[in-house]
Structure 1
């Protein structure tokens, strides 16, 4: 073994505090669980949604995203973002944070993103 008793391991796991904003349960109200996650890249968003599907099988999952990071505010990863968000049952995307600071040709296009998500089978 590792030299640590099962009781100590059990106690540690019961009192473990996870990292803030990483699949952090913020509230449970009327059967709805609100979870905050800081995923700010399409790969991380896909991983988060896959983990939620595993943890909450059969649940309706809403992804609510604020494009705030330099990566998500730009359209360079827009196709990947659409694919990852399409893993949710419903998607809400806020306006791009400080969009005027990004040239329009480089900015995430919310209308196009919505159409891409729908093409991937979700809405």
Structure 2
């Protein structure tokens, strides 16, 4: 029996993490990390198929998680969610192979892109 792919959601606002997790229900095993350090530990031990991170994680930046993910596990699909448009963050995310989207404005697009990434992993 094939194990379900995993998604790690990292966001400082638990309601955002819970909402994204609910949208992905049944498509993957979802883990939620509330802090940068918690996410860093998960990435080091059980790298996910998909990483979804907010930009602001306390004193840290979610882009640093994307960089760590890309270095250690280049096959992980990375998504950065933004509260509002930010050209600098979008450019930096793209430079590190991540897709950036406004959330919740582009929630449907995020869900579809994550589903497509999970489908690629399942093949």
Does the alignment reach a TM-score above 0.5? Answer: no
Q: Which structure's residues are more often helix, by fraction? A: 2
* More strand as a share of residues: 2
TM-score, structure 1 length as denominator? 0.39
